[in-house]
Amino acid sequence: MGFQIYGVFRLSLLFFFCFTTLSAAALRDNISSNTQINSNSVLVALLDSHYTELSELVEKALLLQTLEEAVSKHNITIFAPKNEALERDLDPEFKRFLLEPRNLKSLQNLLLFHMIPSRIEERPSQESSYANKSSHRTVTSLCKDAFGENLRISRNKNGDKHISEAKIIKPNDIVRPDGIIHGIERVLIPKSVQQNFNSRRNLISISAVLPQGAPEVDPRTHRLKKPASPVPAGSPPALPIYDAMAPGPALAPAPAPGPGGPHHHFDGEAQVKDFIQTLLHYGGYNELADILVNLTSLASEMGRLVSEGYVLTVLAPNDEAMAKLTTDQLSEPGAPEQIVYYHLIPEYQTEESMYNAVRRFGKVRYDTLRLPYKVVAEEADGSVKFGQGEGSAYLFDPDIYTDGRISVQGIDGVLLPPEETEVAPKAAPVTSKVVAQPRRGKLMELACRMLGALGQDSQFNSCH
């Protein structure tokens, strides 16, 4: 009996020790997670400094929480490129690559590559001692995906200090207790980010669709009049996109293989899911994403079309535009589908291609998946305007998503097709039926008159 009590006592002590350890760990994590940044922090100084381009990129890259954790643990050193280096000197194509939502990781790696988890301060004594001789050392950045690439701090014989290939033009520009900021003349690009950019720009990794003429189709049977020539795998489908949308098992499939084929050329469902995820990360297009996924089955249908080799351009209205739709416009059966169908163009168009078209031809009419309506585009105020009158919308978020199959262009209004003007048929003139009396000849009339004068006309029926 005593042995059992002793065992229960030891077990109670063990439970008490584990509970105390877990509580202390949870309290420590809670304290570390609730760490607040002082107003005199180097991060606050960066956001309020004249390095506006860098501070905007830090906010767009969602790095504030990561930098707050780094500052709470140790001092940091930020090598801040000047605004001209990020605004004018940077390659426009490379900058467009960094600002795409799907390349958020590359933007984060680029910015963290400019930050050192230690304090590197320029002192006057060091500057005088290294005035006539060169020196260098390597430091590690906060970028964890740099794959061992370090930064090299060096000083030439003239006394100019460099960080890798960039010259430090403003040493000790901003000094704070938890960090320091040095101004540099150019952007430091890690090799991993450069490789990602080169792979995206490589023509092999881009599935571009060349425009080809559609074969001749019999309008009565919707079949090809002539047997189609053999098409290579991955080529655009032969039948119009409207036939692929129509239900029924008797339709011939498109020649382009789907995701279940042996070569796996197009995975339409993954591409549609990717562009909807991009809309959500981009912000301001939640209503359209909700309609595509929850209210309708359009996401699945678009994925099937892309899998069969078709291309689509989505004119995406933002949330402010979708909020202007009335309840009557959305309550009718099939109304959300018809509205979205009018914003789907069965072509692959980018902001540049549409702007060049309207600049060259004035007004351009694009087919939509809502037959038989077309959407009119024209140039206005240096942008592309769709529609006419009060129902027009401007393209103001260009190329939100472009992958060679699906192109998403943000617009600031909901496009509605022009109402069908039904002409009432002309009323047929009312004709009254006139019963014609039998007409007598002139000789009979003359004879009746003579008989009437003699008083004998009553004996003849023809004279009555």
E-strand spans in 331-381?
344-345, 363-367, 374-380
d(CA 210, CA 212): 6
d(CA 21, CA 250): 69
Give yes or no for residue 400 having a pLDDT over 90.
yes
42-121+167-199 and 235-411 have identical folds: yes
**Quick check: 60 and 21 in contact, CB under 8 A?**
no
How would you classify the pairing of strands 76-81 and 179-184? parallel
Question: Which of the four pLDDT bands, split at 50, 70 and 90, describes residue 322?
Answer: very high
- 177 — phi, psi (to 5°)? -65, -30
- The predicted structure's pLDDT at residue 247: 58
What percent of the chain lies above the pLDDT cut of 70?
A: 70
Q: Model confidence over 260-297: pLDDT tens digits? A: 444 446 788 888 999 999 999 999 999 999 999 988 88
d(CA 18, CA 388): 71
d(CA 140, CA 151): 6
**Quick check: 272 and 295 in contact, CB under 8 A?**
no
Give yes or no for residue 249 having a pLDDT over 90.
no
Indicate the average pLDDT of the chain. Answer: 79
Reduced to 3 states, what is the DSSP secondary structure of residue 144? coil
CATH 2.30.180.10 is held by the domain 42-121+167-199: yes
d(CA 218, CA 10): 89
Q: Model confidence over 328-357: pLDDT tens digits? A: 888 888 889 999 999 999 999 999 999 999
d(CA 57, CA 341): 36
E-strand spans in 293-441?
312-317, 344-345, 363-367, 374-380, 383-386, 393-402, 406-411
d(CA 253, CA 265): 16
d(CA 256, CA 306): 10
Q: Following DSSP, what letter does each residue of 152-171 receive, concatenated?
A: EEEE-TTS-EEETTEEEEEE
Domain boundaries, the chain: 42-121+167-199, 235-411
Q: Model confidence over 15-58: pLDDT tens digits? A: 555 555 554 444 344 434 445 667 889 999 999 999 999 999 99
Give yes or no for residue 83 having a pLDDT over 50.
yes
Q: Model confidence over 403-431: pLDDT tens digits? A: 889 999 999 999 998 874 343 444 444 44
* CATH class of the domain comprising 235-411: mainly beta
Residue whose tokens read 């997670």 = 33
